[in-house]
């Protein structure tokens, strides 16, 4: 479990550096699948966790990691189902969740996402926190169906509710509820076990992150399986702990900003010091997370 968290986090760190998206080492990536019951599966490789509904009506997929991994991901799907991949739902615009879009779009898979995912992917973006320019996506990679509040799929005997979470990790997040199977994919509104990246520049807010966590906590039972954007499969109890951490971070950082503290002040004497040991071992180390949130709240 531990190894898996660290592995996923390290992968993210490599891919967020200026070195480029098609980073080294993709050849070594293995896709592992977990059966969550009732035709729902979780795939982990590198980048955002993938969710699947597989059954007689075809395959519905949530997120698609990086372009070089498409053949491995499709091979992993083929181990589960021989039916065609019909839909890919992007939880948000980031390239570690949409990298496979172009390959799948060209293969005729319908890509679906919130309106703002298409908008953000259509133009060049800059991620200040990582000093990275993200080029506009080619046409085949863009969602061909978009929605503002939500959309429901009816496939494989499953009701698949896609719900927009406003201003959480980005301006275009969706969570995906596989109702009968009792599984919820939260995209990057949930980093299980470590400080999350929040894309303040593209509409993300801590309040929105807390809000969507509250919403999922209200929807979930003690048996609900929760797929985070990054980190291992989770549940309501863990989500609650994560939610409380986010609320604490938001409150302390807002207080510090309101008190006129500078980033240098906070770096000397971090208001998050007691949280760092638990949450700071992932992809965002404590100084980077502090800076991200400080800059985000000030902006």
Region from 19-27, 87-95, 129-137, 204-212 binding Zn ion, contact rule CB under 5 A:
87-95
Handedness of CA 67, 71, 74, 79 (dihedral sign): negative
Q: Where are the alpha helices (DSSP H) in 81-231?
A: 95-98, 101-106, 115-122, 206-219
Cα separation, 223 vs 207, in Å, equals: 26
Place of tokens 């502090």: 290
Binding-site size for Zn ion (CB under 5 A) equals 2
Candidates 33-41, 154-162, 183-191, 289-297; binding stretch for Zn ion (CB under 5 A): 183-191
CA atoms of 266 and 288, how far apart (whole Å): 12
Strand partners, 37: 40
* Least Å from the CB of residue 135 to Zn ion: 17
How near is the Cβ of 265 to Zn ion at its closest, in Å? 29
Give the count of beta carbons closer than 10 Å to the beta carbon of residue 232: 18
Q: Find the Cα–Cα–Cα–Cα dihedral 237, 243, 248, 249, rounded to 10°.
A: 130
Residue 64 in the binding site for Zn ion (CB under 5 A)? no
Nearer to Zn ion, 64 or 188 (CB): 188
46, 94, 114, 230: which one binds Zn ion (CB under 5 A): 94
Q: Which residue stretch of 18-26, 38-46, 65-73, 93-101 sits at the interface with Zn ion (rule: CB under 5 A)? A: 93-101
**CA–CA distance, 135 with 20 (Å, rounded to integer):** 11
User: Quick check: 173 binds Zn ion (CB under 5 A)?
Assistant: no
Per CB under 5 A, which region of 94-102, 114-122, 123-131, 155-163 contacts Zn ion? 94-102
Min dist CB 149 to Zn ion, Å, is 21
Residue 244 Cα distances to 58, 68, 206, 249, angstroms: 38, 37, 11, 9
**Complex with Zn ion: residue 94 or 177, whichever CB lies closer:** 94
Q: Is 188 in the site for Zn ion (CB under 5 A)?
A: yes
Q: Of 37 and 135, which CB lies nearer to Zn ion in the complex structure?
A: 135
Cα–Cα distance for residue pair 198/168, rounded to 1 Å: 8
Cross-sheet strand order for the sheet of 150-155: 150-155, 158-165, 173-178, 183-185, 225-227
Q: Interaction with Zn ion in 128-157: which residues (CB under 5 A)?
A: none
Identify which of residues 102 and 188 has a Cβ nearer to Zn ion in the complex: 188
Closest among 272, 229, 283 to 247, alpha carbons compared = 272
In angstroms, what is the minimal distance from the CB of 278 to Zn ion?
21
Candidate ranges 6-14, 90-98, 138-146, 236-244; the one touching Zn ion (CB under 5 A)? 90-98
**Residues of the shown chain interacting with Zn ion in the complex, contacts defined by CB under 5 A:** 94, 188
């Amino acid at each position: 479990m531990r190894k898996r968290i660290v592995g996923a986090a390290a992968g993210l760190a490599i891919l967020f550096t200026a070195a480029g998206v098609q980073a080294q080492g993709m050849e070594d990536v293995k896709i592992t699948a977990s059966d969550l019951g009732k035709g729902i599966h979780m795939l982990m490789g590198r980048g955002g966790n993938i969710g699947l509904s597989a059954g007689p009506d075809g395959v519905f997929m949530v997120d698609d990691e990086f372009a070089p991994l498409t053949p491995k991901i499709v091979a992993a799907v083929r181990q589960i189902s021989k039916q065609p991949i019909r839909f890919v739902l992007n939880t948000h615009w980031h390239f570690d969740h949409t990298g496979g879009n172009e390959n799948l779009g060209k293969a005729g898979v319908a890509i679906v996402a919130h309106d703002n995912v298409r908008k953000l992917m259509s133009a060049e973006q800059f991620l200040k926190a990582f000093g990275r320019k993200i080029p506009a996506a080619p046409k085949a990679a863009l969602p061909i169906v978009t929605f503002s509040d939500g959309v429901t799929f009816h496939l494989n005997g499953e009701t698949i509710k896609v719900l927009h979470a406003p201003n959480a990790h980005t301006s275009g997040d969706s969570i995906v509820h596989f109702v009968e199977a009792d599984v919820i994919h939260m995209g990057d509104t949930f980093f299980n076990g470590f400080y999350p990246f929040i894309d303040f520049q593209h509409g993300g807010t801590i309040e929105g992150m807390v809000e969507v966590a509250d919403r999922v906590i209200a929807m979930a039972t003690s048996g609900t399986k929760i797929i985070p954007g990054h980190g291992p499969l989770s549940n309501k109890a863990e989500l609650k702990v994560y939610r409380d951490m986010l609320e604490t971070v938001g409150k302390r950082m807002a207080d510090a900003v309101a008190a006129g503290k500078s980033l240098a002040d906070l770096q000397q004497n971090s208001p998050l010091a007691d949280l760092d040991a638990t949450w700071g071992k992932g992809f965002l180390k404590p100084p980077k997370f502090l800076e991200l949130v400080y800059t985000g709240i000030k902006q």
